[in-house]
Chains A and B, each alone.
Chain A
Amino acid sequence: MAVATLKPDDEALRKPTTPVHRLGEHVFDVVAEVGDFGFFAIQALVWIVRKRLRWSVLTPIFYEIGVQSVAVVAITGTFIGMVLAVQAHHQFAMMGLATRLGSVINISLVRELGPVLAATMLAGRVGSSMAAELGTMRVTEQIDALTALGTNPIHYLVVPRFLGCLLLIPLLTLMADFMGVIGGAVISTRVMGVDSFAYWKHSRDFVEWLDIVSGVFKSFFFGAAIALISCHRGFNSSAGAEGVGKAATEAFVLSFIVILFLDFVLGLGWNSVYRSIWPENSGLL
């Protein structure tokens, strides 16, 4: 009979025999994935300095990440400020502290909500789009074609996206902060009737430059994380529409988790540094 006859080594490779085998295999996969991501990130960093990119490659990607995200970030920032004002006003008014509303809204915005929510929005808009685009390039062999043409795909595809996110997400965060401050002020002073002079005076007294810097500082890390995670997912996309969709979803979910994790870790780190410099203050976390 001409039916398939497998060699013994092929038969042994067919499937693991016990749940322990499968667990071991899963652990091995996770470790390999983490190692692969680390290697991918290092390669991206090395290629930034190794070879200059043409402006014609950078400009459309910067436009896509930066300019095209302005509207969504502005709307998000504005609504965060407005919602904070609506939610906090009643509680503060009951304690007779309505004029202090500005300090609470603005410090929450520039330290935490602005950077984190702007990064989350960008992970959804930019990160998923990058993962889907690179995933499609992977499954249609465009990434192989780049390599076959003697071009390093990490240099050509990942580095511009990494630089775009690293440099533009902090700027977009500043924009989200600004729009949130305006939104919160409009609702507090025009709708809730808080005295405008007192609102801005308390804001100025409580919010320092260092608060704004701390938010922007974190957003550099958020930008780098979004770019690397999304590009890595796209590069490792499995075949078909399902594979590309999965890569886009994973890019957003992983980016979001890492943003929250980094926010916590960087908050702790920033706090420690702040306390060591100004021990009398409570810190910024």
Chain B
Amino acid sequence: MTQDPAELPTDQTPAPAQTRAPGLVELEDVSMRFRRQSVLRGINLTFRRGETVCVIGESGCGKTVLLKLIIGLLRPTTGVVRFDGVDIAKMNPRELVKLRLRFGFLFQGAALFDSLNVYDNVAFGLREHHVCDERKTREIVLARLQEAGLPAGLEYKKPAELSGGQKKRVGLARALALDPEVMLYDEPTTGLDPIMTDVINELILQTQKSHEKAGIVVTHEMKTVQKVADRVVMLYPLSRISRNEPQVIYNGPAEGLDQSPDLRVRQFVRGEAGERLRELAQSRLSEA
């Protein structure tokens, strides 16, 4: 008989890194609801300086929402999100802008501005915030594009002329242009071929090492997890968790994922449908 995953204990073992450095980003009892739909409930997480954390979980479990809460694009329905010990809900608009400049965000579809060419996309933040003159801006933009492994001459192309992998790399260059303290990656390798996936993983790894940034990588690619993660957090969809159970069902080192006592974690790592097939059959029956 298969054991009920909901009854299994959740693994919230602290990672070794947690004892090394103070929390840079902290979420305390955070819940998020969009009208009738609850997306996150009772989330308690800490992200530390110099640490790369992968947030994994099925589609629709609230991974992207978590990133948007951290950068202040969304406000939690309840709970507190702190950056460097300061509650971001209590920040005024000017402080919030300053906070956002300490983050770099690589969006799922890169979110490059269609009307601007690659150069202007990467230079956008530098120009908007008058960080430096045009000569220095050019230096930074070209350096970031080179770091992202993009060929010379690409800077005058429009986003529509780029491939998926190139868009992601331009997005990464844009996110790094303002030299942020924390990098947020939203499914950086989704939709890319295996080679380009590895290229992006390498870039993330290089970025995290060379710039010594904190990194939060939302993904459901286990190769990305294996390559870049110091610690892994697994979220589980609210619609399927049982009463009184935390939505974070794993918070620990990447090496421990395979041996997690929670069946759901092991199934996710191995890519097995497991209980899900039974759930789908049950929901079809109840609909009928």
Contact = CB atoms under 8 A, between A and B. Distances in A.
B239 A149 contact: no
B97 A142 contact: no
A276 interface: no
Contacts of B100: 147-150
A49 interface: no
A54 B130 CA distance: 12
Contact of A2 (B107, B127, B279): B279
A54 B95 CA distance: 23
A144 interface: yes
Query: Chain A at the B interface: mostly helix, strand, loop or mixed?
Result: loop
B239 A4 contact: yes
Contact of B125 (A2, A13, A137, A150): A150
B111 A2 contact: no
Interface residues of B, number: 41
Interface in A40-61: 54, 60
Interface bin, chain A: 20 to 34
Nearest to B242: A5
Interface string A135-165: 0110011101111111110001000000000
A142 B107 CA distance: 9
A51 B193 CA distance: 43
Nearest to A5: B242
B279 A60 contact: no
B71 interface: yes
A54 B127 CA distance: 10
B128 A144 contact: no
Contacts of B206: none
Contacts of B6: 2, 5
Given A1-B4, A2-B6, A141 B109 contact: yes
Interface string B120-139: 00001101110000000000
Interface in B81-99: 93, 97-98
A8 to B, nearest CB: 9
Given A4-B239, A13-B36, A141-B107, A147 B124 contact: no
Given A145-B113, A149-B178, 8 more contacts: A4-B239, A136-B114, A145-B105, A148-B71, A148-B105, A148-B107, A149-B125, A149-B128
5 contacts: A1-B278, A140-B111, A141-B108, A150-B98, A150-B128
Which 6 pairs from chain A and chain B are nearest by CB? A145-B111, A141-B111, A148-B105, A2-B275, A150-B97, A149-B125
